[in-house]
Amino acid sequence: MTETNTSPHRLPFFLMLGFSLLTLVLRIWDLLFYTDPTTGFVTNGFFFARIAVPALGVALSYAAASRVHRRPRALLGPCPGMGAGLLSLTVAMACSALLRLPALAAAFDPLELIAAVTALLTALWSLLWGVRAFGPLADPTRPLPGTLTSLPGTFFFLWMMIDRFAIAPASVMRLGSTLRVLSGAAALLFLSMLLRVFLTPGLPVGRSMFAAGMIAFLLCTCHELPQAVFEFCNGNTSPAGLAVSLAMGLWGLTGLVCAWYASGEGLPMPPDRTFAPKPKKN
């Protein structure tokens, strides 16, 4: 079916932005007044209510995504906001790798080495693809990026998920570990949609991109980043760990920019030729 109304649909974006910023304020309030600064434990109960809020945000993101266009025009042309987000991610990833060097020099740790190498590879990927985002994504005069070139972009996020799943918190009341796993899952979800936009521009992925971008902003920026700052100020995380969460926060901001692009002007859907009659041979 062809979409006739191609005007921008910004209302879902602003509604989800308002919800996400509200959760950011609530998360900061919770950290300052209802979280033990030494252990990270929640001090007043209501643990599942703190998980229900981001879960509600995920559901609302997909509900709001149904109101945007399936083929946004902005994701075919130059995306300078996306490019700026990827370039800022490059800086944060490189800093997280460099900040691990003193620990590696003092005592060799294979896990630290893997974290540093994966961060550098993903930093290189975000640099190259960030520069590409400043030009048209669907430019017939230049070839599309190869599938193999997208692999370095997944290294850091996959290793981060493995590392975070390996942490077994002492209690479910230690909310930080749970939120970090959810944040990592949101980052991978958004990465999968971003790769589709780069590798196959023009596909009807506007709604999926909107939902994935808003979820990444909600969990990576509005939940993980303030928690990392809180833990760093209380001496519970290293500078390298803070740089990783800063990278995640910037990744979430990139998701917000992509959600803005996805809520813009749409293009008509191409005709469905699945059941079209085949031309007769002469």
C-beta of residue 154 within 8 angstroms of C-beta of residue 124: no
Tell me: pLDDT of 53 over 80.
Answer: yes
Tell me: pLDDT of 274 over 60.
Answer: no
CA triplet 91, 205, 11: central angle to 5 degrees?
85
Tell me: pLDDT of 8 over 80.
Answer: no
C-beta of residue 58 within 8 angstroms of C-beta of residue 215: yes
| CA–CA distance, 259 with 261 (Å, rounded to integer) | 5
Tell me: pLDDT of 268 over 80.
Answer: no
Cβ atoms within 10 Å of 81's Cβ, excluding its own: 18
The three-state secondary structure class of 207 is: helix
C-beta of residue 89 within 8 angstroms of C-beta of residue 233: no
Q: Tell me the residue type at 266.
A: G
pLDDT in tens, 113-128: 999 999 999 999 999 9
**Helix boundaries (H) for the chain:** 11-34, 47-65, 80-98, 101-106, 110-132, 151-165, 175-199, 206-216, 225-233, 239-262
Mean pLDDT of 97-111: 87
Strand partners, 266: 72
pLDDT in tens, 206-244: 999 999 999 999 999 999 999 999 999 998 888 999 999
At 275 the pLDDT is: 46
The three-state secondary structure class of 43 is: coil
C-beta of residue 145 within 8 angstroms of C-beta of residue 86: no
Give Cβ neighbours of residue 281 (< 8 Å, ≥ 6 apart). Answer: none
| CA–CA distance, 41 with 29 (Å, rounded to integer) | 15
pLDDT in tens, 25-50: 999 999 999 888 887 778 876 777 88
Phi/psi for 35 (5° steps) reads: -130, 130
At 3 the pLDDT is: 44
Q: Which residue did the predictor score with more confidence, 271 or 58?
A: 58
Least confident of 44-53, 72-81, 96-105, 110-119: 44-53
| CA–CA distance, 91 with 243 (Å, rounded to integer) | 10
Confidence of residue 164 (pLDDT cuts 50, 70, 90): confident
At 5 the pLDDT is: 56
